[in-house]
Amino acid sequence: MALHYFGLMLINGINYRTVWMQDTSVYLINQLLLPHKFEIYKSKDYLDTANSIKTMIVRGAPAIGATGAFGLAQAALMFEGENFDNFKQFINEAYHQINSARPTANDLKFGLDFVKSRMFAENSIANSKMKAFELAKQYADWNAELCRKIGEHGNSLIKDGHSVLTHCNAGALACVDYGTALSPIRMAHYSRKNIFVYADETRPRNQGASLTAWELAQEKISHAIIADNAAGYFMKKGRIDMVIVGADRIAMNGDVANKIGTYEKAVLAKENNVPFYVAAPLSTFDVNANSGEDIPIEERHEEEVLYIHGIDENNEMKKIRIASFESNAKNPAFDVTPARYITGIITEKGVIKPKSEDIEKFVG
């Protein structure tokens, strides 16, 4: 088994990262099987890696950024030939293939660009291959460190006794390690604050119920899964002190694209005077997006709404139709929360106000 013991994420008492690379294979915690089965998926080539992003074996913006970076390194390592121009062309094609796996998360392009813009060394294919591999590893380490820092900054906002609502999964599984929204929660727990987490189930794919709650259980952090439409009830009763969510892409005016349903939680938070924070590394900001209008929103297959997945009483994975065969569904995977609903964006460099002037100072 490949090296996974350098992460912080605790799974069955062992420390893991979500994604890593050894030799020419990329290893991923298979998120399609959680929480019922813990398995590592071994992706043997970059096409398989691109497909793992598309099919959501790995998901979450920073995690797919690092997986994309490893995928490009895989492409470099598998190139057979001696012509440097052909090598460059092969890398360009692999870049586009991986980048088109999912459209909304900015980190995917960011991770790919990080490797591609630095990997070509002295017209030497052998050196460029080595460099691509080193850069991808560097990118993953860097991302883990950014998430650790997000945790430290975010922890200073969480008070002892606080209850925090989160949406979707922005935990270690959605990153290389630590998480974005879950990193401050982890840090608060490690610093012995007594906290409670409300995890939105997050239809249609239930990342909150199947991934966030599982991560929290692994770390023994007190929590409850709530139905997506229960957040307003708990906010109105004063049971939620703050909301922290992740982000897939942030525009330069502070509008935030995140998992579908985030927008309505932000509106509810404002109505109930609950602070609403977004946690994300600066790599999630898109310098080319002036506002949320410029962010591409992924439309996914209607099957995700019409069916649910789970285990039956014999522990067997089942896919169950929950709607009439006469019904169709619409399935936007993300929505945009306007900046005016956001209290602050927790980054590796501190908490930023969601305003163009402040964002420009941080995002170079």
Find the binding residues for ligand MRU in span 54-73 (CB under 6 A). 59-62
Tell me which residues are annotated as active site.
248
Closer residue to ligand MRU in complex, CB, 129/205:
205
Note whether 354 binds ligand MRU by CB under 6 A.
Answer: no
112: alpha, beta or left, given left = phi > 0 and alpha = psi -120 to 50? alpha
Closer residue to ligand MRU in complex, CB, 25/262:
262
DSSP helix/strand/coil, 73: helix
Note whether 248 binds ligand MRU by CB under 6 A.
Answer: yes
The helix/strand count (H/E) of the chain reads as 12, 17
What is the side-by-side strand order in the sheet with 196-200? 223-226, 196-200, 163-166, 242-245, 276-279, 344-347, 350-352
Q: Which stretch binds ligand MRU (CB under 6 A): 109-117, 221-229, 242-250, 335-343?
A: 242-250
For ligand MRU, the binding residue among 116, 189, 249, 259 (CB under 6 A) is 259
> What is 87-149 written as a DSSP string?
HHHHHHHHHHHHHTT-SS-HHHHHHHHHHHTT---TT-HHHHHHHHHHHHHHHHHHHHHHHHH
Q: Binding string, 84-123, against ligand MRU, x = CB under 6 A?
A: ---------------------x------------------
Buried b (16+ CB within 10 A) or exposed e, 165-198: bbbbbbbbbbbbbbbbbbbbbbbbbeeeeebbbb
Note whether 166 binds ligand MRU by CB under 6 A.
Answer: no
Closer residue to ligand MRU in complex, CB, 4/62:
62
Closer residue to ligand MRU in complex, CB, 59/265:
59
Q: Which stretch binds ligand MRU (CB under 6 A): 53-61, 134-142, 301-309, 338-346?
A: 53-61
The neighbouring-strand residues paired with 16 are 9
Q: Binding string, 269-308, against ligand MRU, x = CB under 6 A?
A: ----------------------------------------
DSSP helix/strand/coil, 257: strand
**With contact defined as beta carbons under 8 Å apart, do 8 and 178 qualify?**
yes
Nearest in space to 147 (alpha carbons), one of 113, 171, 115: 171
Closer residue to ligand MRU in complex, CB, 175/346:
175
Note whether 174 binds ligand MRU by CB under 6 A.
Answer: yes
Closer residue to ligand MRU in complex, CB, 132/213:
213
Q: What angle do CA 280, 286, 287 make, to 5 degrees?
A: 130
Enter the tokens of residue 362. 């941080």
For ligand MRU, the binding residue among 68, 71, 204, 246 (CB under 6 A) is 246
For ligand MRU, the binding residue among 94, 132, 170, 231 (CB under 6 A) is 170
Closer residue to ligand MRU in complex, CB, 79/179:
179
Note whether 333 binds ligand MRU by CB under 6 A.
Answer: yes
Residue nearest to ligand MRU (CB): 246
CB count within 10 Å of CB 124 equals 13
For ligand MRU, the binding residue among 155, 212, 258, 283 (CB under 6 A) is 258
Which element (helix H / strand E) includes 335? strand 334-337
CB count within 10 Å of CB 274 equals 22
For ligand MRU, the binding residue among 25, 43, 67, 180 (CB under 6 A) is 180
For ligand MRU, the binding residue among 69, 168, 225, 346 (CB under 6 A) is 168
**With contact defined as beta carbons under 8 Å apart, do 165 and 240 qualify?**
yes
User: Interface residues with ligand MRU (CB under 6 A)?
Assistant: 59-62, 105, 168, 170, 174-175, 180, 207, 246-248, 258-259, 333
